[in-house]
Structure 1
Amino acid sequence: MVAATSTPPVIDAWVNIFPESFASRWTAKEEQQGVVQLFGPDLAKGHTVQTLLEAMDGAGIQTGVLTAGLSDPARAHRRGGFAAEDFLAIAEEHPGRFLVSVTVDRVAKPLDNVRRLRELAQHPATVLARVTPLVEQYDLNHRLYYPVYATAAELGIPMSINVGIPGPQVRSRCQDPVHLEDVLIDFPTLTVIGAHMGHPYEALLIQYMLKWPQLHLMTSAYLATYMDPAMVKFMDSSRGRGRILFASDHPVIPAQKALDAARALPLSDEGMALYLGGAAQRIFGLM
């Protein structure tokens, strides 16, 4: 008799808690006006652990990956935000509900970034590192990122790298996914997750995922309703199942809205289970 397999819990690979002072300053920046127009003025509102948990519970999301900068706590607090240590403490206070990702927020400080990544990786809730090229406008294959990529590969921590046209009104070429091949070639053991889906380069990214088994995507900040049909078909193919992770970037896209759109995709039960949680369990070492 074959034992029944349980459906993996829903894991949202990108969630945020924005203090109101930070959120209001961020949305007031001129380059962010396109984002505000696209996702609405509610982005300027503050969010707490409790409101995030309520959103996750309402949507049926078991675990969310909180996103913090790599900067030291004093700098993060001066800027009105949370430090990675704050989110790690939140993860400890709410067992099973949160994991933590850490983002390069000062590209020109590679030694500090490596030191901080090594420190934070000692905590079991730290499961992901991130690079967001649009913020400081360095190409995703820039040499300043390479020490972080090398350290993540050494530590076995996956790297999330924003790819595609960003929402803010900044130059997009730094996130051209064609640059991913340099990273994939130079760091063959590094698991890379293209964040924000990489639109409008879906055809290229499908070919890259066929070529590079360590490459994945996540649907953060991209409503599944608008996914390229070819990408949806790939998600349910023999070589594509488990290559796309569910993520909302809540509150940029509210968790409930993101998950409703995800569940509406025409995927098999296996494909859906891998998309909503199974792939994340494997990649983040939760199995």
Structure 2
Amino acid sequence: MGMPTDIGVIDCMLGIPEAEDRGDWFESFKPLIKDEETLKQFSMPAQYMFKDIPESGQQDDYTSWVVEQMDKHGVERALVGWNENETSRRAKANYGDRFFFDLPIDPNGGVNEIRRIRRIHDEVGLSALSCFPSGTVPQVGIDHKYMFPFYSLACELDIPFCVNAGIPGPRIPMAPQRVELIDEVCWYFPELKLVMRHGAEPWEDLAVKLMLKYPNLYYSTSAFAPKHYPKAIIDYANTRGADKIIYAGYFPMGLSLERIFRDMANVQFKDEVWPKFLRENAMRVFGLKD
């Protein structure tokens, strides 16, 4: 049958631009970047990996522009990073039925960061916490002691924790995101719903082994065009992992929705996997309601 077209897709990684110039999207980890090409020529930190990066053009309302793109491609709802600014507040106020929010956290922030998360969760009703370990300054690994209070908090709030895993696209050290670091976290926090982001490459086979081992470990396809989904992940979804693989895009950070869904039609998922991949797994893991 191939990819169905009658499913309200849940996209578990999408962004809303602040302006036509998106250079501030990697401002937080610029201190880690040393090469001149990234600093002086790139509009996004892993630009060498992507071609045809979507351009928003000048928009009066960037949130409405994003929703228009979602409507064109059957994306019903999307997980967006919460920023304490007018864009996020407008998205929640005007399109609360279209967006749900994760909060990017800084594990170096200690107890003050814990307080910030609690305050925002009380105000917003977060659906997840997230972290880019290689992009923390200084870098903090997936299994570092600084991360453990935030995993505990995610368990307490009963929301997932999304974490980048595998070699990062930006030209910064990879050590904080080695996939084997996930093992101790899942062992110590059996209640934690942990969602891997950004591919887990080149350790995708290990990611599959860990998902077989731990019931609450998941994989999202963020930052990969469907034609580049790892074979190990497709094979796992088609066998024992149909409930573990979650669709996430990367629009407009690096991929257009047009490119994603054009490629998606060629992914060799079994018919019964598609509804889970495009919608049902996200609804369950992130606690969404119809």
Structure 2 partner of 1:38: 49
Q: How does 1:192-271 map to 2 (within 5 A)?
A: 192-237=194-239, 239-251=240-252, 252-271=254-273
Structure 2 partner of 1:3: none
Q: Which has the higher contact order (CA 8 A, sep 6+)?
A: 2
Normalised by the length of structure 2, the TM-score is 0.83
Shift of 1:268: 2.2
Segment drifting more, 106-115 vs 203-212? 106-115
AA at the equivalent of 1:9: G
Shift of 1:273: 0.7
SS at match of 1:269: coil
AA at the equivalent of 2:46: V
Segment drifting more, 152-161 vs 106-115? 106-115
Identity, in percent, stands at 24
Segment drifting more, 275-284 vs 117-126? 117-126
Gaps of 5+ in 1: 1-6, 74-81
Shift of 1:199: 1.3
Conserved? CA contact 1:23–1:43, under 8 Å:
no
Q: What is the CA RMSD across the aligned residues, in angstroms?
A: 2.4
Segment drifting more, 182-191 vs 110-119? 110-119
Q: How does 1:129-168 map to 2 (within 5 A)?
A: 129-136=129-136, 137-168=139-170
Q: Distance in 2 between matches of 1:51 and 1:148?
A: 33
Gaps of 5+ in 2: 1-5
Q: Distance in 2 between matches of 1:243 and 1:149?
A: 19
Conserved? CA contact 1:64–1:99, under 8 Å:
yes
Q: Distance in 1 between matches of 2:258 and 2:112?
A: 37
AA at the equivalent of 1:211: K
SS at match of 2:135: helix
Structure 2 partner of 1:13: 12
Q: Distance in 1 between matches of 2:186 and 2:72?
A: 38
AA at the equivalent of 2:181: H
Structure 1 partner of 2:22: 23
SS at match of 1:126: coil
Segment drifting more, 227-236 vs 19-28? 19-28
Q: Distance in 2 between matches of 1:43 and 1:257?
A: 10
Structure 2 partner of 1:93: 94
Structure 2 partner of 1:79: none
* 1:58 pairs with one of 40, 47, 72: 72
Between Structure 1 and Structure 2, how many residues are aligned? Answer: 266
Shift of 1:173: 1.1
Normalised by the length of structure 1, the TM-score is 0.84
Shift of 1:26: 4.6
Conserved? CA contact 2:79–2:101, under 8 Å:
yes
Segment drifting more, 214-223 vs 248-257? 248-257
SS at match of 2:275: helix
Shift of 1:21: 7.2
For residues 95 and 107 of structure 1, do their structure 2 counterparts lie closer, same or farther at Cα, with a shift above 3 Å needed? closer
Conserved? CA contact 1:110–1:145, under 8 Å:
no
Segment drifting more, 47-56 vs 212-221? 47-56
SS at match of 1:64: strand
AA at the equivalent of 1:133: P
1:235-258 CA distance string (max 9 Å, x none): 122x30121111112112112222
For residues 27 and 120 of structure 1, do their structure 2 counterparts lie closer, same or farther at Cα, with a shift above 3 Å needed? closer
SS at match of 2:210: helix
Structure 2 partner of 1:115: 115
Q: Distance in 2 between matches of 1:90 and 1:50?
A: 9
Conserved? CA contact 1:14–1:65, under 8 Å:
yes
Conserved? CA contact 1:15–1:65, under 8 Å:
yes
Q: Distance in 1 between matches of 2:51 and 2:228?
A: 18
Conserved? CA contact 2:54–2:256, under 8 Å:
no
